[in-house]
Structure 1
């Protein structure tokens, strides 16, 4: 009896380790629930330094298998291309609420980063914060930034696949502009010295496909409040989960979205599972 119990315990431990190991994947097959063809869910890191970037074979090999590449936003669509100039326009009221002391602090920090507060006279706050985020990556050559979505779209287009999206560029830009107020700029700039270490942790977790570590970093309240997390992740996940089933019924999709949308109790992996789909990690 003791021998049987011991073997049962060992089997349980091995099974538990296997289950947790299986969670370490950024690529998942979506099947079942009446789907005629499998679809796939990929977590991306939107922007990376060239030295940190790689597009794994398991991702490349999927392009011929699916009918549609579905991104958060299809920048190349005619609708989105038409509004890019409007979305990049500066907000002349953005800095109005800051005190002279805060303006001087912002100007000083930006100057130390080889940037200028006058950049906000030329671009929208959303574009400006994107530039700030690139600075935190500490790339060996900032000119060589890699974007997985661009590579995926190029491959899909070359293979004759349709490109679709889950939301519009206007929605994303409006969301970012709403989330990023002048007071947030002050807070963000005060954290600039800490941001490279956070970015490094995120890249390391992403390269290891460690969903648990990614979840911990992404849901760290020091740089995203509960309200911002809801706007940036939860509400969008809930919106996407209403759109994905019909897309999967029509065609086999590769959904490529930011990795933060996969993780957590309100992430796409759990939301899709709750809808009756079978989610299988691909290694």
Structure 2
């Protein structure tokens, strides 16, 4: 999924940088949009055609839905979010937890045996070490990745008609002062991520970017003296999120505008799957052609990262008990972490 840090860091990014210079109203929107009823815009009738007329499957649909796939309002009693890793010569079991990057921290209190898993582990591993991810240095690195080259500003890669359509969407979510021009210096992928954060509030109106599950788990582990580790650096996550070309990002942004109402409907279905803690249903929704599944996106954002993490786990698990907490979208499927661990000879079973 999209990296664990970005939903939490978006608010800080705009508070410290963009808000100061370009968009003074947006901070209050990010903090308080949970009190605003979200309205859906039409899917695409006024969208221009300079970037692309690809109204069929497109990568951004997958991005939007996948960002939302990592979230959950509550966890049912039989949710399959915490998994026990044993066998293959392990002296102590390890655990794999599917997290939800924009769900309330209270969600983890509903996960059976999670506190016991944290207490028994020697190490806590996440996508990143969250204290490092939130550092000023990481903030500056993210800013560098998020800013568009001067010859590829948003207003120069979109037609006037496309800009107008984007304006409608931004004003719908952020208020009457919002416009594409105010975000022109951001890469389209960064703007997509911000919009996805706001869209997620239709499912999780009480999410607080300053209190994020991945960070909370690491915080609890650190309080118990556990070693905290991460599979990726800030550069790794920025490359995954912002590594495609500006033109590809702009195509994805306009596809996001065209399919806003579709994404909202799919988000409701995904939320229902989350409430049941049903990883298989989540995977089916992700692979549904109607979701805009993209092989390139899946390879870059999911499969390649899963393979890298599995290699790191192979070195960790034999020598220590590890609680691994990463986005839930990384767990299911043939190339998901559960399957990869089983292929290495481990027993991976849901904790009921």
Q: Give the TM interval when normalised to the shorter protein.
A: 0.7 to 0.9
Partner of 1:202 in structure 2?
Answer: 270
TM-score, normalised by the number of residues in structure 1:
0.82
Q: CA deviation at 1:178?
A: 2.2
Describe the superposition over 1:107-141 as per-residue Cα deviations: whole angstroms up to 9, x where unpaired: 22212222432453465545433321122121574
Alignment length, in residue pairs?
260
Partner of 1:41 in structure 2?
Answer: 96
* Separation in 2, partners of 1:102, 1:275: 49
Change (3 A) 1:164 1:244: same
Partner of 1:128 in structure 2?
Answer: 191
Whether 1:163 aligns to 2:228 is: yes
Q: CA deviation at 1:250?
A: 2.7
Change (3 A) 1:169 1:276: same
* Separation in 1, partners of 2:250, 2:99: 28
Partner of 1:193 in structure 2?
Answer: 261
- Match for residue 306 of structure 2 among 233, 237, 252: 237
Change (3 A) 1:30 1:139: closer
* Separation in 1, partners of 2:131, 2:88: 32
Contact 1:27 1:43 (8 Å CA) reproduced:
yes
Contact 1:237 1:268 (8 Å CA) reproduced:
yes
Partner of 1:252 in structure 2?
Answer: 321
* Separation in 2, partners of 1:201, 1:82: 38
* Separation in 1, partners of 2:310, 2:344: 9
* Separation in 1, partners of 2:275, 2:133: 34
What SS does the corresponding residue of 1:61 show, helix, strand or coil? helix
- Pairwise mapping of residues 9-158 of structure 1 onto structure 2 (< 5 A)? 25-48=80-103, 53-55=107-109, 56-77=111-132, 82-89=137-144, 90-92=147-149, 93-95=152-154, 96-114=156-174, 115-121=178-184, 123=186, 125-137=188-200, 138=202, 141=205, 144=208, 147-158=212-223
Please say which structure displays the higher CA radius of gyration. Answer: 1
TM-score, normalised by the number of residues in structure 2:
0.67
Whether 1:264 aligns to 2:333 is: yes
**Which aligned segments of 4 or more residues in structure 1 are displaced greater than 6 angstroms?**
none
> 5+ residue gaps in structure 1?
1-22
- Pairwise mapping of residues 177-188 of structure 1 onto structure 2 (< 5 A)? 177-179=242-244, 181-188=249-256
What SS does the corresponding residue of 1:113 show, helix, strand or coil? helix
> 5+ residue gaps in structure 2?
1-77
Contact 2:104 2:213 (8 Å CA) reproduced:
no
Contact 1:87 1:124 (8 Å CA) reproduced:
no
What SS does the corresponding residue of 2:83 show, helix, strand or coil? strand
